[in-house]
Amino acid sequence: MPSSDYDLASLPDLLPLYYRRLFPFSQYYRWLNYGGVQKNYFQNREFSFTLKDDIYVRYQSFTTQTELEKEMHKMNPYKIDIGAVYSHRPNQHNTVKSGTFQALEKELVFDIDMTDYDDVRSCCSAADICSKCWTLMTIAIRILDRALRDDFGFQHLLWVYSGRRGVHCWVCDEAARKLSVAARSAVAEYLSLVKGGEETLKKVVLTDPIHPFIKESLAVVEDYFPQYALQAQDIFGRKESVEKVLTLVPDDVRRELQQLFEKEKKPENRWELVKDQATKKQATGKKGQHFEKEIMLQYCYPRLDVNVSKGVNHLLKSPFSVHPKTGRISVPMDINRLETFDPFAVPTISLICEELDRPRTGEEDIKENEKDAAEKRKIRDYKRTSLAKYVKYFDQFLDGMASSWKGELLRKSDLQKEF
């Protein structure tokens, strides 16, 4: 795979090419301008650039798409972060009276990072991922996407691969962008089931009655659990991992299961035994005996970095930014094709720059090239690379959003006509 050719040292050479010919500026601006419904929405947005040698430049802001393009061509940032929409232009934040410069709005964001699952995956640890543990991200997206749509009523959810070991979600609905800090943290806590740090072993505790949200989430986990946990991670295989699972059940059940496991080695059957025990316990009528569900959730339920979601002014890596360590582009994910999304197939900057250099094929170029403006060529440049399908999906997402503010704009222009 050519994408493995990426080398950090080549980044300074590739970034100018990427920003000049491939970065989808017009879509990017279209997104953050939100149809121009609110004045100065793009102008007051904070961008933050990470330059070579981890030099961090905060509070960048731009009045137009052209200004943004110019600055990016000049700076060639290693990484781009997006912050809040402020009360004033962020690049002038030092000129306004302190205390008046305030973060007003931002997309509701979620950050799911594979490192947070280290205690429940045996295949990799820290920043490493593989196709086995990637299932965790698929589960996470399915659970959160459903809840954010059905429970909270949001519609415009942009899921983005971070470029390395996680995914981000940008909830772009107007109502979501206007949420207070308290509301953001309440949403994040509603969605958090796995709680506790290194000093907590049992991180999921269910109480009766089981909330519809948890039931829905469990239904998703159940789809994946046998294949993912029992097969791929083999949690009932090695002795230590079996013990780890058994710390999550009540003492008497643990002893019984330990005996039963002596004779039964097959993971699927062992899991059946756990479930049998749970059914038995629940039949006794005692409340709060949901250990089989708690196990499933502890091993598979999405682990959110709540602090990222809480803060209005928190920065998050921008879509289409390059991940400096892997070279992969942070691309939007089509959640209708979630199951087939492969993080290792996401193009690296080296790959798409190389694709750009390949000789053009076919006559279409010759025909259209005649009336080609530079601008037009740029639009088509990315189409010749593996980035194309991700930009196309981004376009679809933006179209969906545009229809939501059409009504708003019409209403406004109607108002104006009356004068």
Partner 1 sequence: MLFSGGRRKKHIANPQTDLYAHALQFYGQPPLENISLSEFETFAVDRLKLLKTVENLGVSYVKLSEQYTKKLENESKNLNFPHRLDIDDRKSQNAPNEYEKRRKDYISHFILRLAYCQTEDLRRWFIQQEVDLFRYRFSDLQPKQKLEFLHRNNLQYDTISIEEKKTLLDKLVNSSYGVSGITVEDQDFYKVPFQDALDLVRTRKVYLKAGYVYIPHQDIVTIVLNDFRTRLSKALALTARSLPAVHSDERLQPLLNHLSHAYVGQDYSIQKNVGKISLEQIDSLSGKSFPLCMRQLHQALRENHHLRHGGRMQYGLFLKGIGLSLEQALQFWRSEFIRGKVDADKFDKAYAYSIRHMFGKEGKRADYTPYSCMKVILSNPPSQGDHHGCPFRHSDPELLKQKLQFYKVPPSGISQIMELVKGMHYQLACQKYFELTHNIDDGSFSLNHPNQYFIESQKALGGGKDLKKEMDMSQRSQENSAARRPAAAREAAANTSQDLVEMTEDLDSFFQDG
Burial class (CB in 10 A: 0-12, 13-18, 19+), 285: exposed
Look at the block and give the residue holding tokens 């390949």.
Answer: 358
Nearer CB in complex with partner 1: 189/395: 189
Nearer CB in complex with partner 1: 306/356: 306
Nearer CB in complex with partner 1: 216/223: 216
Q: Exactly one of 69, 81, 107, 111 is catalytic; which is it?
A: 111
- Name the packing angle between helices 291-300 and 212-225 (round to 10°): 70
Contact residues for partner 1, defined by CB under 8 A:
53-54, 98, 115-119, 150-154, 175, 179-180, 182-183, 185-187, 189-190, 194-202, 209-215, 303, 305-307
Q: Which one-letter amino acid corresponds to residue 201?
A: L
The least distance separating partner 1 from the CB of residue 115, rounded to whole angstroms, comes to: 7
3-class secondary structure for 392-417? HHHHHHHHHHHHHHHHHHHHHHHHHH
Q: Is 111 a catalytic residue?
A: yes
Kindly provide the b/e burial profile for residues 324-349, where b requires at least 16 CB atoms within 10 angstroms of the residue's own CB.
Answer: bebbbbbbbbbbeeeeebebeebbbb
Residues 72 and 79: their CA atoms lie apart, in Å, by 11
Nearer CB in complex with partner 1: 7/118: 118
CA dihedral 386→388→392→394, nearest 10 degrees, is 70
The least distance separating partner 1 from the CB of residue 155, rounded to whole angstroms, comes to: 10
Residues 171 and 154: their CA atoms lie apart, in Å, by 7
The least distance separating partner 1 from the CB of residue 345, rounded to whole angstroms, comes to: 28
Nearer CB in complex with partner 1: 5/118: 118
Tokens of 364: 């279409």
The least distance separating partner 1 from the CB of residue 99, rounded to whole angstroms, comes to: 10
Q: Exactly one of 105, 113, 294, 355 is catalytic; which is it?
A: 113
The least distance separating partner 1 from the CB of residue 108, rounded to whole angstroms, comes to: 12
The least distance separating partner 1 from the CB of residue 254, rounded to whole angstroms, comes to: 12
Maximal C-alpha separation, the chain: 85
How many separate helices (H) and strands (E) can be counted in the chain?
16, 9
Sign (positive or negative) of CA dihedral 331, 336, 338, 341: negative
The least distance separating partner 1 from the CB of residue 182, rounded to whole angstroms, comes to: 6
Residues 333 and 382: their CA atoms lie apart, in Å, by 17
Nearer CB in complex with partner 1: 64/102: 102
Q: Exactly one of 46, 105, 292, 294 is catalytic; which is it?
A: 46
Q: Is 272 a catalytic residue?
A: no
Nearer CB in complex with partner 1: 189/264: 189
Q: Is 151 a catalytic residue?
A: no
Q: Which H or E run includes 182?
A: helix 181-190
- Is there a contact between 390 and 331 (Cβ–Cβ < 8 Å)? yes
DSSP string, 17-31: HIIIIIS-HHHHHHH
Cis omega (within 30 of 0) for bond into 209: yes
CA dihedral 16→20→26→28, nearest 10 degrees, is -10
The least distance separating partner 1 from the CB of residue 185, rounded to whole angstroms, comes to: 7
Nearer CB in complex with partner 1: 195/238: 195
Residues 53 and 41: their CA atoms lie apart, in Å, by 31
Question: Which residues are known to be catalytic?
Answer: 46, 111, 113
